[in-house]
């Protein structure tokens, strides 16, 4: 078994990365192979909407670091997308990855491949109430479902505006660990 963690935070000591690491440690304790990709350190261009992928068996015309993420998604048994919420939505880095998954849209081969894979989402945020961005998290999960993935948990961890502050929040780290355990 293999799980891919997609960290989209640009911050060092990122709360969402710490939560992601916690979730993956729970899986590693069950002998699951885990890997994290740090999206902010990668070059991922925005989707061009050119439909090249629809004429070329879901292969994107753009040759950037997203190619590596495609391979890792295809090889993984489960995925955890980890994004900070900066202004009522997942961040731009998360959105770039999700938008580039369009290349898989309406491809029956990939829908079948993804049908056995589960996706969970971890989000950290500061002071905004969950109601301000809950629909966005549901929309991101729906995008994965449209591609054939099984929906996992969505975990929003509040009061995490200061980088590293989640380290002192045992209950939130427990929730992240439980999300990891339930992924597979």
Percent of the chain scored above 90 by pLDDT? 96
Residue with tokens 């040759």: 63
Q: 10 Å Cβ neighbour count for 150?
A: 15
Which pLDDT value is given to residue 173? 98
Residues 9-20: pLDDT tens digits?
Answer: 999 899 999 999
Give the C-alpha separation, 83 to 14, whole Å. 10
CB of 112 within 8 A of CB of 75?
A: no
State if pTM tops 0.75.
Answer: yes
Average pLDDT over residues 52-60: 96
Average pLDDT over residues 78-93: 96
CB of 120 within 8 A of CB of 80?
A: yes
Which pLDDT value is given to residue 127? 87
Q: Is 124 exposed, middle or buried (0-12, 13-18, 19+ CB in 10 A)?
A: buried
* Arithmetic mean of pLDDT over the chain: 97
Give the C-alpha separation, 12 to 141, whole Å. 26
CATH number, residue 165: 3.40.50.360
Instruction: For residue 57, give its domain range.
Output: 2-183
Average pLDDT over residues 129-157: 96
Give the C-alpha separation, 141 to 154, whole Å. 8
- Confidence band (pLDDT; 50, 70, 90) for 128? confident
Count structural domains, the chain.
1
What's the gap between Cα 97 and its chain centre? 8
Residues 152-166: pLDDT tens digits?
Answer: 999 999 999 999 999
* Assigned token pair, 118: 């589960």
Give the C-alpha separation, 104 to 174, whole Å. 34
CB of 130 within 8 A of CB of 146?
A: no
Which pLDDT value is given to residue 156? 97
Which pLDDT value is given to residue 184? 85
């Amino acid at each position: 078994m293999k799980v891919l963690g997609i960290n989209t935070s640009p911050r060092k000591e990122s709360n969402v990365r710490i939560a992601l690491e916690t979730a993956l440690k729970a899986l590693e304790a069950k002998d699951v192979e885990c890997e994290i990709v740090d999206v902010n350190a990668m070059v991922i261009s925005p989707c061009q909407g050119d439909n090249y992928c629809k004429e070329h068996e879901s292969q994107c015309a753009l040759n950037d670091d997203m190619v590596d993420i495609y391979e890792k998604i295809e090889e993984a048994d489960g995925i955890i997308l980890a994004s900070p919420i900066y202004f009522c939505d997942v961040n731009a880095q998360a959105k770039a990855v999700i938008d580039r998954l369009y290349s898989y849209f309406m491809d029956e081969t990939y829908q079948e491949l993804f049908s056995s894979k589960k996706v969970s989402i971890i989000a950290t945020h500061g002071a905004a109430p969950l109601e301000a961005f809950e629909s966005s998290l549901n929309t991101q999960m729906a995008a994965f479902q449209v591609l054939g993935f099984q929906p996992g948990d969505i975990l929003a961890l509040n009061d995490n505006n200061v980088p590293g502050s989640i380290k002192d929040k045992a209950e939130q780290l427990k929730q992240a660990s439980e999300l990891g355990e339930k992924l597979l």
